[in-house]
Amino acid sequence: MFSAGAESLLHQAREIQDEELKKFCSRISKLLQAEDLGPDTLDSLQRLFLIISATKYNRRLEKTCVDLLQATLGLATCPEQLQVLCAAILREMSPSDSLSLVWDHTQNSRQLNLVASVLLAQGDRNEEVSAVGQGVLRALESRQPEGPSLRYLLPIMAKVVVLSPGTLQEDQATLLSKRLVDWLRYASLQQGLPHSSSFFSTPRARQPGPITEMDGAVATDFFTVLSTGHRFTEDQWLNVQAFSMLRAWLLHSGPEGLGTLDTDDRSEQEGSTLSVISATSSSAGRLLPPRERLREVAFEYCQRLIEQSNRRALRKGDSDLQKACLVEAVLVLDVLCRQDPSFLYRSLSCLKALHGRVRGDPASVRVLLPLARFFLSHGEAAAVDSEAVYQHLFTRIPLEQFHSPMLAFEFVQFCRDNLHLFGGHLGTLRLSFPNLFKFLAWNSPPLTSEFVALLPALVDAGTALEMLHALLDLPCLTAVLDLQLRSSPAPSERPLWDTSLRAPSCLEAFRDPKFQGLFQYLLRPKASGATERLVPLYQLLQPMAGCARVAQCAEAVPTLLQAFFSAVTQVADGALINQLALLLLGRSDSLYPAPGYAARVHSVLSSQFLALCTLKPSLVVELARDLLEFLGSVNGLHSRASLVTSVVWAVGEYLSVAYDRRCTVEQINKFFEALEALLFEVTQCRPSAALPRCPPKVVTALMTTLTKLASRSQDLIPRASLLLSKMRTLTQSPATGSMHGEHGEEGAEAICTRATELLTLLKMPSVAQFVLTPSTEVCSPRYHRDVNTALPLALRTVSRLVEREAGLLLG
């Protein structure tokens, strides 16, 4: 989240209109044409970058301004900071037809880097990616000691490899592999010289010192990204950049087909490889072909990084770097073992030791994810108790580290990216959804889309009901996690919770043994197969409903519910569909009281109830008793109007022998009486009664359903006609407008119109049954497409009759 000052600047940038932007561009054009590009130019370019980057849509800049930005980027004498800003602005504009940058017109390697970044942002519309890649390769082939530095070009080459792997030819790929070997393995072990030296400094003082390790010891092995010094030489910088692009290059240049082997095939191949690998000397290693030699050097480099990570870093920043390099080293080893199984047996001992070392260190928890992927990827050949690895991964980490946003994102991505490898461990993942939901509850804005993609893999018929309860209780879980952090005995230096919100009563309840069972149920690590009614917690935690994090989580729940129902309907049988429908009805009045939460959830529940009925129309008959009980109360009708409307519509649509032969006249009569009583209650105008304001759509749905039921049991037609007549008369009462709240006269008019239409239909019972309860054949698409078939003719006939009857009634 941004600070208040940053939010204010962003808001101002977004509010700038096109006319103001045009004037500002004219001012910048004048500044860029001046001989002296001073502080005013720098300040204006910074403002322009903020303006065009603050909105999600592209801002249109004047062509003169764009041309001058490109010209400034190509000036050899232009200050570097201005060139960086020009490139950033042009990247924000991309892709754009107004850009005309050309790679060949620049010589300085810094400028090449900036120009290439703009060209790559353009996409490959005019084969810019290929042109950039070939330009970098030409610089690589003609590299001279006194030539332009490749330090600024190698990151561009890494990007080209990812965007357009087919850019490089075989001889060019071989050349790059050779260069990577040299940079990774043979960088200098002496620090770089100072950029400038004093006239009075002695030659001894100017001697570069040796490279050191993280703990301060002098390095005795080859240079890596974890080697330290005050200044670095060119080849040392290239060493760091070569490692940063190593994994992408190995994936690009690896043997065809090995990267896509199935798990079983790969395990068989790995298992057939000899576990005893003869030691190879460095001189023998140089005889290998370039690609194999690069893999060998990459393996040695990763082994050295793992060894260096054992050293105690003197600075916190270095400690963080160690962990980041460990993650990348394990990922590179995974690629190497997939491409050449002989590396697997050389890697296992150090990776097992690494796993044993980091699993108990909370600060190194991110390293566990690539290690788990390694063991998952290589199956039985790794000879590791994978189940124990995953139990620790899915049980302890979310429980203890749910508040880490970076870990949360990486953990969910790990689950998504490796679903195809889980195999027999997929059950462990599915049962761990309560723990995974802790990440979601605490980090809902950035993780919502990730969980929408992950939910189909988590949904299982055995845990679907418990998962739906957990999704509906997600804002309550957020509040409980907040309390858990607040009550932690060793809080962090920077509180992870909202310090402006104080809820001492909630903290007392969290520590109260009487409520521990409910809190522990919400914080359970695995699916328990049981559900708890959390209404007491809703009341206790109501002061937390105003917390910003709880509000964000509540906004994400409707999207997650849509994804859940899309997935569960693929695996649900008839019994589960009935249970889901009952759960929707039961939870409609049992939700955490976050502002606006119930209304958003009811909207989703109503649409999903209809979807379940469409999937299984017999649901209405099978759950008749429960539906009657649901419709028998008007408590909270206004807040549940959408769900009540859906239930009423489903009764009118599916309570018919056309959908279920078990439907009886007695059931139709019971529903008619219940809906009649409900309509009577919600439309009474008694000043002393505290009845809820009823939305007109509920009234019209009730009238329509009552008419449908009457058309199926014609003994009910007189009662339905009388009721509709009363409703038409009632809409003319002065009190009707207030009864329907903000809908007022428009709602009364809609009710009157619907009552008149339905009354006209009931005067012709056979036509009413044909229109309100059409047969399956009539509902087929043929009756809607062909104007000569029965349905269009019947509708035209009924329309004429309705119009004539309405005219007679009005007359």
Cα separation, 558 vs 600, whole angstroms? 7
Per-residue pLDDT of 404-449, as tens digits, reads 899 999 999 999 998 888 877 788 889 999 999 999 999 998 999 9
> Torsion-angle region of residue 6: left (phi > 0), alpha (psi -120 to 50) or beta?
alpha
Helices (H), 16-77: 18-33, 39-53, 63-74
Q: Is 65 in contact with 25 (CB distance < 8 Å)?
A: yes
Q: How many CB atoms lie within 10 A of CB 216?
A: 11
Neighbours of 499 (CB within 10 A): 9
Reply yes or no on whether the pLDDT at 511 is more than 50: yes
Q: Sort 530 into a burial class: Cβ within 10 Å, 0-12 / 13-18 / 19+.
A: exposed
How far apart CA 578 and CA 104 sit, in angstroms, is 68
pLDDT for the residue 686: 45
> How far is CA 55 from each of CA 20, 24, 49, 209, 318, rounded to the nearest angstrom?
15, 17, 11, 49, 36
Query: Which backbone phi and psi does 52 adopt, to 5 degrees?
Result: -80, -20
Q: Is pLDDT above 50 for 275?
A: no
Per-residue CA distances from 490 to 404, 494, 544 (Å): 16, 12, 22
**What would the two tokens of residue 22 be?**
């045009």
Average pLDDT of the segment spanning 135-149: 65
Question: What was the pLDDT predicted at 762?
Answer: 85
What percent of the chain stands above pLDDT 70? 82
Distance from C-alpha of 13 to C-alpha of 5, rounded to nearest angstrom:
13
CA distance 250 to 267: 21
Distance between CA atoms of residues 683 and 692, nearest Å? 10
Amino acid, single-letter form, for residue 305: L
Q: Whole-prediction pTM value? A: 0.81
Q: Taking the alpha carbons of 220, 224, 227, 229 in that order, is the dihedral positive or negative? A: positive
Choose the weakest-confidence range: 15-19, 138-142, 552-556: 138-142
The CA–CA distances, whole Å, from 236 to 304, 325, 654 equal: 16, 16, 74
User: In one letter, which amino acid is 786?
Assistant: D
- What is the average pLDDT across 626-630? 93
- Report the SS3 class of residue 495: coil
**Residue-wise pLDDT tens digits, 216-270:** 888 888 999 999 888 888 889 999 999 999 998 998 876 653 333 344 444 444 4
Q: Is 120 exposed, middle or buried (0-12, 13-18, 19+ CB in 10 A)?
A: buried
Number of H helices, E strands in the chain: 41, 0
